[in-house]
Amino acid sequence: MTDQPIVEPKEKQRILLQVDNLVKYFPVRGGLLRRVQAQVKAVDDVSFFIYEGESFGLVGESGCGKTTIGRTILRLLPATSGNVIFNDEHIFDYNAKQLKVLRNEMQIIFQDPYSSLDPRMPVG
């Protein structure tokens, strides 16, 4: 694994959010003492940039880790490894007070097809 992002940033555009080699594994516990038996690889080595003024959508099959990526970026779930930089600051180093401010500036918008569009109304 390399420390360099797979995708190089565009020139002359400010990077708002940078995700580098994000990894999130969930432990599988079992046995009498509930020891970790295995790891479920929910997110494995994800990297991307979001530029200022850009719309960004994360698309994939059900269960591929889209929600886990979002929750890990916002530190609603702890990352196994990787780095997230928002406004040139490493957010994995934030304390609780800084996270509260951050979560006012960032949010996940989940797709809900039943409340997004009324199937009886034309799009236009």
- Is 68 within 8 Å of 77 (Cβ atoms)? yes
Q: Which H or E run includes 90?
A: strand 89-90
CATH class for the region spanning 15-116? alpha beta
Tell me the pLDDT tens digit for each residue of 42-66: 999 999 999 998 888 888 888 899 9
Give, for all 124 residues of the chain, the pLDDT tens digit: 455 555 565 667 899 999 999 999 999 999 889 999 999 999 999 999 999 988 888 888 888 999 999 999 999 999 999 999 999 999 999 999 999 888 888 877 776 666 655 667 676 6
